[in-house]
Amino acid sequence: MHDPPESNVSRERIVIVGAGFAGYQAARTLSRQLRGRAEIVLLNPTDYFLYLPLLPQVAAGILEPRRATVSLPGTLPRVRLVLGEADHVDLKAAKVHYTGPEGVGGELPYDRLVLAVGSVNKLLPVPGVAEYAHGFRGLPEALYLRDHVTRQIELAATSADPAESAARSTFVVVGAGYTGTEVAAQGKLFTDALVRNQRRGPYGHRPGKPRWMLLDIAPRVLPELDRRLSTTADRVLRARGVEVRTGTSVKEAGPAGVTLDTGEFVETRTLVWCVGVRPDPLVSEIGLPVERGRLCVDAQLNVPGHPEVFACGDAAAVPDLTRPGEYTPMTAQHASRQGTVAGRNVAASLGHGERRTYRHNDLGFVVDLGGVKAAANPFGVPLSGLAAGAVTRGYHLAAMPGNRVRVAADWLLDAVLPRQAVQLGLVRSWTVPLESSSPELARVPGGPGKE
Ligand SMILES: Cc1cc2nc3c(=O)[nH]c(=O)nc-3n(C[C@H](O)[C@H](O)[C@H](O)COP(=O)(O)OP(=O)(O)OC[C@H]3O[C@@H](n4cnc5c(N)ncnc54)[C@H](O)[C@@H]3O)c2cc1C
């Protein structure tokens, strides 16, 4: 089948803002469905789609950073990528204003708009956290953590002061959702391997066993997931030596460590903030009704009163038809399926195909705990050990829209070779502040930014 000839004369323009799970699938669906009959523009700050569930493996040195990405121009035919960040949506003029990667602004008029800007790190008003903690929402943060952790173990090995060495070998993760749980589980294996690789330091000692603490105010790890996944993850973490502290959080953070709400002071140089995410602040600035920061849409992902505007993924409050009265959770599973439905409905609004209502039953969840360990409940069947490990990795390969062979190759190499323990030092602490509306970009001096 041939595509219709390209012509800009009377083609309608669809602008999709954000190329994460939702935006990527919306663009892909539209590209396949319209085959050139409308102009599809994708506005995103990076030229890649980021497969976020693999980020903990980037931080643990299992995957090279580019493995978790999929090229947008390389995989989305008939979609025009515009590099930049939307700063403002003018609903009256039907235009998106944006800033490009080199600070130059532009505007994109649209006939249809799909908002899929996702979410950013959630902050809590805890003294010192904004200054001393780092989030885990983008590739720069994962790279920063990988290098930082490696550096701490190397500095611990050469420190003459046992107290300093112990502090540098202590890592505190706050938030035991799937992100924090995976970061702690993978991080412990990573630092154990780093310590094994260390030759004896000049003062005749290796750093002691790395100490990882995973805190959550909830009574169990993975509090939002099935209890059986929680039990498996808890067992694996404790067997590995991670100190799981439920019902506990951080009261204050400082340069030398953190004070827990129990009053205990833990000396550390590493605080990883995984307490969850909040919708991208752009959504609240548009001036349309929101639900906890998520843009309200109907079950066809249309913004009420604005037939030309659609929203999906973490940034949208989508009614969950399988649980009346609730909204769909912020997961990749929902975001990517909503992207597909949004794409179909945008096409239908232009006269191509039928509209659909979004309805999806959760298919289960997978949590990779590193090594061959995982916790999974595909279709509600709880799995642990090797079976869960195989299902988890198989699921990720199937769910990634590209780059699968490279990911599988890195997994294979990691299984047979020692992990490469070098820190490149390319991402510095100040370039990845916790409080950022653009966790996908590292800050650069004098560079554009919305902060
Ligand atoms: C570490 C981690 C692990 C996870 N693991 C899992 C998992 O195992 N399973 C699961 O179901 N979910 C998981 N999630 C959650 C899942 O990744 C999110 O629910 C999903 O990414 C939401 O998709 P989205 O398209 O709404 O947003 P995102 O995937 O976050 O995409 C948003 C896109 O919008 C872009 N953007 C943001 N602001 C602007 C702007 N102003 N202008 C232009 N573009 C913009 C961003 O750069 C990004 O490309 C994980 C999340 C994290 C952080």
Number of folded domains that form the chain:
2
How far apart are alpha carbons 368 and 376 in whole angstroms? Answer: 8
How far apart are alpha carbons 341 and 338 in whole angstroms? Answer: 5
Closest Cα to residue 320, out of 356, 360, 283? 360
pLDDT (tens digit, 9 = 90+) per residue, 415-441? 999 888 899 888 888 888 888 878 888
Q: Whose CA is nearest to atom 9 of ligand 1?
A: 332
Measured in Å, residue 85 CA sits from the centre of ligand 1 at 15
Q: Crossing angle for the helix pair 404-416 and 385-399, nearest 10 degrees?
A: 150
How far apart are alpha carbons 336 and 339 in whole angstroms? Answer: 5
Domain enclosing residue 212, as ranges = 129-275+365-431
pLDDT at 4 over 50: no
| 75 in any annotated domain | no
pLDDT at 329 over 70: yes
| 234 in any annotated domain | yes
pLDDT at 284 over 50: yes
Q: Domain check: are 103 and 207 in the same one?
A: no
Task: From 349, 382, 412, give the residue that closes a domain.
Answer: 349
Measured in Å, residue 335 CA sits from the centre of ligand 1 at 8
Q: Domain check: are 146 and 188 in the same one?
A: yes
pLDDT (tens digit, 9 = 90+) per residue, 39-95? 999 999 999 999 999 999 999 999 999 999 999 999 999 999 999 999 999 999 999
8 Å CB contact between 178 and 225: yes
Q: Whose CA is nearest to atom 20 of ligand 1?
A: 332
- Percent residues over pLDDT 70 in the chain: 94
| 448 in any annotated domain | no
The CATH number of the domain where 334 resides is what? 3.50.50.60
Average pLDDT over residues 290-311: 97
21 CB near ligand 1 (under 6 Å): yes
pLDDT (tens digit, 9 = 90+) per residue, 162-178? 999 999 999 999 999 99
Residue 188: both structure tokens together: 């412990």
- pLDDT for 197 equals 82
8 Å CB contact between 358 and 318: yes
How far apart are alpha carbons 376 and 364 in whole angstroms? Answer: 7
- pLDDT for 330 equals 95
Measured in Å, residue 20 CA sits from the centre of ligand 1 at 5
Q: Domain check: are 250 and 336 in the same one?
A: no
Average pLDDT over residues 190-202: 80
Q: Domain check: are 114 and 134 in the same one?
A: no
pLDDT at 442 over 90: no
Q: Domain check: are 112 and 182 in the same one?
A: no
154 CB near ligand 1 (under 6 Å): no
44 CB near ligand 1 (under 6 Å): yes
Q: At 336, is the secondary structure helix, strand, or coil?
A: helix
pTM above 0.85, yes or no: yes
Q: Domain check: are 303 and 209 in the same one?
A: no
pLDDT at 6 over 70: no
295 CB near ligand 1 (under 6 Å): no
8 Å CB contact between 141 and 242: no
- pLDDT for 204 equals 55
- What is the average pLDDT score of the chain? 92
- pLDDT for 7 equals 47
Closest Cα to residue 95, out of 106, 84, 85? 106
Q: Domain check: are 212 and 268 in the same one?
A: yes
Q: What is the DSSP code (8-state) at residue 353?
A: S
Q: Domain check: are 141 and 112 in the same one?
A: no
Q: What is the 3-state composition of the chain as percent helix, strand, coil, each rounded to the nearest 5?
A: 35, 25, 40
pLDDT (tens digit, 9 = 90+) per residue, 22-37? 999 999 999 999 999 9
8 Å CB contact between 425 and 124: no
282 CB near ligand 1 (under 6 Å): yes
How far apart are alpha carbons 172 and 367 in whole angstroms? Answer: 20
Measured in Å, residue 230 CA sits from the centre of ligand 1 at 23
Measured in Å, residue 192 CA sits from the centre of ligand 1 at 30
Q: If you write DSSP's letter for every residue of 218-271 in order, what string do you get?
A: SSSSSTTS-HHHHHHHHHHHHHHT-EEEET--EEEE-SSEEEETTS-EEE-SEE
Q: Domain check: are 160 and 180 in the same one?
A: yes
The CATH number of the domain where 181 resides is what? 3.50.50.100
pLDDT (tens digit, 9 = 90+) per residue, 366-403? 999 998 899 999 988 988 888 999 999 999 999 999 99
Q: Domain check: are 269 and 282 in the same one?
A: no
Q: At 20, is the secondary structure helix, strand, or coil?
A: coil
Q: Domain check: are 410 and 323 in the same one?
A: no
If you search the block for the tokens 């990634």, which residue do you land on?
400
Q: Domain check: are 245 and 372 in the same one?
A: yes
Average pLDDT over residues 279-306: 96
